[in-house]
Chains A and B, each alone.
Chain A
Amino acid sequence: MADTPGAIVERAAIKAALKREFRKQATNPHRHASGEGGALFDPALQRFMSMKATQYDYFKPTPKASFMGLMFIAVPIIGYGLLLKRDKEQQEMRIRTGQVSYADREFKFL
């Protein structure tokens, strides 16, 4: 139904009218001459930026969101920390019990 020749012509007319209006406002010589800069106001762009700026206000704690927070934030931080702690403790124990010779020790002068 939307592909009838009448509908196509009608949509093309609307689109051409909008384009004409856009070109008319974007090439406004008085606005260009004043040198104040800026851009033609686009409500869709403004809505998008407002959405991004107020993203946190619309946050809802769902089980999926909590799960994502855990898996991608809490688990890597805590897991990586414990891994580093364990690695360092093993390293220290090897050095302090004399299993590493002084020549083999790295980063002595840091």
Chain B
Amino acid sequence: MLKLILPLVMLMKYMKVCSVVQIGLLIVSFMVGLMSYHDFYFYGIGFSLGIDSVSYIMILLSVWIMSLVLMASQKVKYSKNFYGSFIGVNLLLLICLLITFSSMEYMLFYISFEMSLIPTLILILGWGYQPERIQAGIYMLFYTLLFSLPLLGSLLLALNKSGSLVILLSQPFIYDSYLMMIWYFATVMAFVVKLPMYMLHLWLPKAHVEAPVAGSMILAGVLLKLGGYGLIRVLILFQFMGKESYWVWLSLGLVGGSLVSLMCLRQVDMKALIAYSSVAHMSLVLCGIMGFSWWGLSGAVVVMVGHGLCSSGLFCLANIVYERLGSRSLLMSKGLLSFMPSMGLWWFLLSVSNMASPPSLNLLGEINLIISVVSWSKLTMFGLVSLSFLSASYTLYMYSLTQHGLFFNSLYSCCSGKVQEYMILFLHWMPLNVLLLNSNLLLISSLIKMKCVKR
């Protein structure tokens, strides 16, 4: 782990030099990528930090997205808007995320989970564009903090009951009385609000819209996955309670996801549309994780990676449009295909991955999730039908509204598409559609581990 954290801490010395940090982050992500063929079974990496398959995938995703974030935030550098502190805040966020994903203990995980909120808040408040960002920061902070205080209590109770909070040593708690359901909900709510689930999702459109492009990309790309990752870790303890209450999460996920997808179709703000689509994707992930099946778990991880890349890329595209047009309004950013034709390629590829069409990672993950959810009960097919159909419909709405037709007639001239932007979008798209060919790196299954051992 030292090979990952030490370079990041040392990069903070070069906060003022943007190019060194960008190249350094790409090198760190390469080093993380080198670990991909390791036989993971809680590979201990020192400082009581450990990586297993899920952790490794999340660490790789977070380092990759962070390097793309720094590449996409060139405007902060050109407008000399405190870009040293900006890079420092981003690196601090990355360190918090690395510790979160590799902590082998629930308490360290909780502390770094909360710690990652603060750099995000600083990003939103410091480099956001609209005055509404104050409210957005408050919403994000208080939603997450309100539901994570019970999580602290329940972790302390777990420590009291079992003597240790090390994840490897955790045994499922025996479901003795109905009061333990309160314990279960207190624990799970913190992650479910981060994921986010339908009823508790109100912070997400605000925070995503008001954040600068870096904040939006890192929020959509990695911070939502903190909720999913936390659920995967914490549900080990609460297996019996989770079994009884799956129908709650399933219903909230499917019906809530469909309602949020309907909301997508009514948006006039590009970033709000992408933010609501994040909620819809994550609601399906929630259904997969809570179901305690191998297919659900692997589908959830694959969708988390695919959605991280896809949504982050779409926010990058929305920012590209915003830098030129000065507005995120869908009424103004229409007909972009005639305005920036080459960008239409990336709009198309990322939109098409957003609605889980082949050959994207989202498709693989959604297939797994649909199989796992339908295996629980056939009635879930109604919810899945509406979720999939509406997800295709709002993506098509967004693509055709932004790309097709005449462009807004009072636009002033601006540059078409910089090669750097194409590179960022290519680096978003490439893992999404090409990693599918080697998706055994992402699919989690004990069968695959057995295969490696036999060889």
A73 neighbours in B (Cβ, 8 Å): 259
Kindly state the separation between the CA atoms of A40 and B327 in the bound complex, as whole angstroms: 11
Would you call B410 and A26 a contact (CB within 8 A)? yes
B414 neighbours in A (Cβ, 8 Å): 35-38
Task: Encode contact with A along B377-389: 1 for CB under 8 Å, 0 otherwise.
Answer: 1111011000000
Asked whether B294 is an interface residue with its Cβ less than 8 Å from the other chain, the reply is: yes
A53-B383 contact in complex given A39-B326, A88-B376, C-beta closer than 8 Å: no
The residue that A52 contacts in the complex, of B255, B256, B268, with Cβ under 8 A, is: B268
Mark out the residues of chain B between 363 and 407 whose CB falls within 8 Å of any chain A CB in the assembled complex: 371-372, 375-380, 382-383
Asked whether A12 is an interface residue with its Cβ less than 8 Å from the other chain, the reply is: no
A38-B252 contact in complex given A45-B332, A80-B383, C-beta closer than 8 Å: no
Kindly state the separation between the CA atoms of A106 and B250 in the bound complex, as whole angstroms: 20
Asked whether B81 is an interface residue with its Cβ less than 8 Å from the other chain, the reply is: no
A77 neighbours in B (Cβ, 8 Å): 198, 251-252, 255-256
B412 neighbours in A (Cβ, 8 Å): 26, 28, 31-32, 36-40
Task: Encode contact with B along A65-90: 1 for CB under 8 Å, 0 otherwise.
Answer: 00000001100111011111101100
A91-B377 contact in complex given A45-B332, A78-B251, C-beta closer than 8 Å: yes
Interface size on B, residues (CB 8 A): 42
Asked whether A93 is an interface residue with its Cβ less than 8 Å from the other chain, the reply is: no
Task: Encode contact with A along B267-306: 1 for CB under 8 Å, 0 otherwise.
Answer: 0110000000000000000000000011100000000000
Q: Shortest Cβ distance from B241 into chain A, in angstroms?
A: 15
The chain A residue sitting closest to B130, CB to CB, is A53
A35 neighbours in B (Cβ, 8 Å): 413-415
The chain B residue sitting closest to A29, CB to CB, is B413
Would you call B268 and A49 a contact (CB within 8 A)? yes
Would you call A39 and B248 a contact (CB within 8 A)? no
In the complex, besides A49-B268, A78-B251, 12 extra interface pairs with C-beta distance below 8 angstroms are: A32-B413, A36-B412, A37-B323, A38-B412, A52-B268, A53-B132, A81-B247, A81-B248, A87-B378, A88-B376, A91-B377, A110-B295
